[in-house]
Structures are given as C-alpha cells and as structure tokens.
Amino acid sequence: MKRILLMFIILGFLGALFACQKSSGSIVISKLFESTEQQNNAIELYNISDNDIDLKNYKINFYNNGSLEITSTILLNGIIKANDYFVIGSSNAMDETLKQAIDFSFEEGSLPYNGNDSVELVNKKTVIDYVGLVGSDVDYSNNLTLIRIGHVEDYQPSQTFDPFHFIYYLPDVFQYLKNDDYEIKTLDDVLAGPQLEQQYKDMPYVDPNNQSIGGGGAVLVNVTGVADGDTAYFTANNGFPGGSVRYFYLNTPEVDGSHVSAEPWGYVASKYNKEYLLSNSSEKEIYIQSIKGYSLEEGYGRSLGLVWINGYLSQFLIAKEGLTESVGTIYAAYDLEMHYKNVPYLTFLRFAEQYAVERGWAVKGYPSNPDGEMSPDWNYESNSNTTQSPTWTPHLPLPWE
C-alpha cells in the first residue's frame, strides 16, 4: 500500500513538474523595440498557449554593456490572455500608438536597455526566452525592431539567442504592436529578397543639398561592361554619371588585375555577374540606386550603388550564392534609409548570406567548412588560380526566369 501511495505521489509530482515546465515555456518575446528615443523602448510578449497566464511570477532581466551579471530587473504583473499579446513599455513613452498598446508600464523611466544589451524573460528562476548576447557589448539591435520570424502559432521560446530567429525591421514600427500585419514574416518571405519599390524611382539619385552624397534614387541604365563579381559599367542617366559601379555591401573575391591577384571563387563570381545576372542586358530592366546619405563614390573613381535587375537586387542574389565576404551586421543610419516593406535591405542580405553558410556554398565553403564546396578555379595545394573560365552553374534559379 505504501509503495502504491509513494508511486502516486511521485507520478503526481512529475505531472505537476511537467505542467509547470509546459506553462513556463508558453510565453515568448515576440517583438523587441529598440527605439530611436529610449523612452519608446518596448517589449512585446506573446502567449502561445490556449490558457490565460498570470504574470505574477515572471520578470524581465537586463544585462547592460556586456555585463555577465544581471544589471536590472522588472517584476511583471497582469494577465496575458491565451493566444494574445502583452506589451511592456515605459511610463514616459511618447509615441501615441505605443502608449495605447501598453499593458504593463515601467514606472521608473525608460526600459533599461539599448542596442547592445541582453533581455531575458524569467519565470521564477527558469529562463524562458532570451534575446541578446550576454558578455558582449556589440550592437545587435541598435535602432531596430526585432520581430520573431514565422507565424505566431509556430513561435517557440529559446534559452539561447539565434539572430536568425528574428527579422530586423526599421525602428519605431509601432503599427505592428499586438498584430502580425507586417508583410515580411517567414523565412521564405526573407529569402525571396527585396524588390525595387516605386518610391526609390521617384527619389533623386543625387542629394539636392550635397552633390557628393546619394539621394537614394534609382535610375534606369544600360550595361556597357562587367569587370568582376562586384563591379560593372553602366550608361549615364538622370544624375548618375555613368561608368564603373562598385556594388555596395559586397566584397567578392578578386580576379587578376593590375593591383590584385586572383583569389578562390574570384572568376566564379565574375562569371555569375557577367554570364547570368547581366547577360542579355538589353532584354532586362536595370537600375542603379544610390545610397541615401552616403558617398556617391569610393576610391579608384568608381560610383557606389545598388544594382537592380528586373526589380531584384543583384547584391542579394550574389550573397545567396555565397559569392561574397561578410555583408556586415551593424546597421548604420544609411542602412535604415534603404528598405523593402519596412525591412532594411541589409536584413535580406544577412539572411541570404546565412543561407549560403548553412549550405557551405562558394566562399562559405572550403576550407572554413571542410565539407563545403571547393572553388573550381583554384588549386588549394599550390594556392594558385587554375583557370579564368571555371565550370560552374548557379545553385539557385534566377528569379526572373
């Protein structure tokens, strides 16, 4: 009898433990707003369960400026309803849309984090969900809105942070609080890439107040030649002076030149640009877009710009094939000026690069990935180029075909 009673007690304890674990993992950080004004910082939670949850045992921990220890804590209260949102904001919030959405107001001022601080959702002593990089003060969300990738019904909390579990949106998109009405939502959405919106065709190529700075406008051009994987030549039009354009964001491997020597994948990147992206250019609609707020030129007399083919961004396609070095992770002010459906182009490029990394393609392959691709234009034993006409075809179909 005692053994049976003991067994029921143990089973009851395990059941209660399982129920607690299931409940404690039913809330996720769905959006993190690192605003251009700190008083408008906000954290949105989402209850992925079919039950209302009392937040009295929940708290938000913050790790500021690379600290390995908790630097501040907010104790939560309130009810987060089943399959619903809960917004944590500041008592000094200024944005009206945000103020109307707040469910829990932090009375001690602005939410205490910025773009390099880590945010941790905790139930009692258990970490439920986590955003950031404890021990690092590198910006990962400065002046950005992080929205968890996927549909709300598929959200899952995590005790570790993966930057590719979030889509990096423009700052202050408070119209997306407590809804999923934003258009770039899933991994497929991001990996489809940005498209050239009409607003940029209507903008000036050159800043009217500074002739050396880009106005962000896109102008229609014709191709006159291709130098390599990240440089080509185009005709002048409507503020664009014509000539050589260096592809902004990219650094593809070199081919042999007067000041440089060939590198692995250099002739492959050149082939992709010349024989696939810009081939039969007279049959394609090609735009050059300047970078709003950034220099129109770099060294060597080359213009800097984005190259659009039939509405698709060349830089994105090149990154997705793995044919460039890192596109970077830090969003400057000019990065926020160039976006598609409120998602900066840089976000799309980062996901494209990660797509190639996961598959070990091109520059993201051998030798950093021992199982990844080896360049068909390179002898790794002698560390030398073997051909200027490598046998290679793209992994991915061109989006306009």
Closest residue by Cα to residue 400 from 240, 227, 193: 193
pLDDT by 10s per residue, the chain, length 401? 333 333 333 333 333 333 333 334 799 999 999 999 999 999 999 999 999 999 999 999 999 999 999 999 999 999 999 999 999 999 999 999 999 999 999 999 999 999 999 999 999 999 999 999 888 888 899 999 999 999 999 999 998 999 999 999 999 999 999 999 999 999 999 999 999 999 999 999 999 999 999 999 999 999 999 999 999 999 999 999 999 999 999 999 999 988 899 999 999 999 999 999 999 999 999 999 999 999 999 977 899 999 999 999 999 999 999 999 999 999 999 999 999 999 999 999 999 999 999 999 999 999 999 999 999 999 999 999 999 999 999 999 999 99
Domain annotation for the chain: domains and CATH numbers? 26-182 (2.60.40.1260), 198-385 (2.40.50.90)
Q: What is the pLDDT of residue 369?
A: 97
SS3 224: strand
Closest residue by Cα to residue 391 from 273, 277, 271, 280: 271
CA distances from 247 to 62, 197, 305, 351 (A): 39, 19, 6, 18
At 310, the amino acid letter reads N
Contact indicator for 217, 293 with CB cutoff of 8 Å: no
| β strands within 184-252, DSSP E | 218-221, 223-228, 231-234, 243-247
Contact indicator for 324, 363 with CB cutoff of 8 Å: yes
Contact indicator for 130, 120 with CB cutoff of 8 Å: yes
Closest residue by Cα to residue 157 from 119, 184, 136, 127: 127
Q: Quick one: which H or E segment has residue 345? A: helix 345-359
How far is Cα 334 from Cα 292, in angstroms, rounded to an integer?
6
Residue 228 CB-half CA count within 13 A: 20
How far is Cα 250 from Cα 353, in angstroms, rounded to an integer?
11
Contact indicator for 272, 318 with CB cutoff of 8 Å: yes
How far is Cα 188 from Cα 196, in angstroms, rounded to an integer?
18
Which residues, other chains included, contact 166 with Cβ-Cβ below 8 Å and sequence gap of 6+?
Answer: 32, 131, 146, 147, 148, 149
Residue 231 CB-half CA count within 13 A: 19
Q: What is the pLDDT of residue 32?
A: 98
Read off the tokens for 381. Answer: 């034993």
**Residues 70-86, buried b or exposed e (16+ Cβ, 10 A)?**
eeeebebeeebeeeebb
pTM for this model (two decimals): 0.92
SS3 355: helix
CA distances from 111 to 131, 176, 182, 270, 275 (A): 15, 19, 24, 48, 52
At 328, the amino acid letter reads G
- What 8-state DSSP symbol labels residue 213? B
How far is Cα 246 from Cα 73, in angstroms, rounded to an integer?
47
Contact indicator for 229, 236 with CB cutoff of 8 Å: no
Backbone angles phi, psi at 17, to 5 degrees: -60, -45
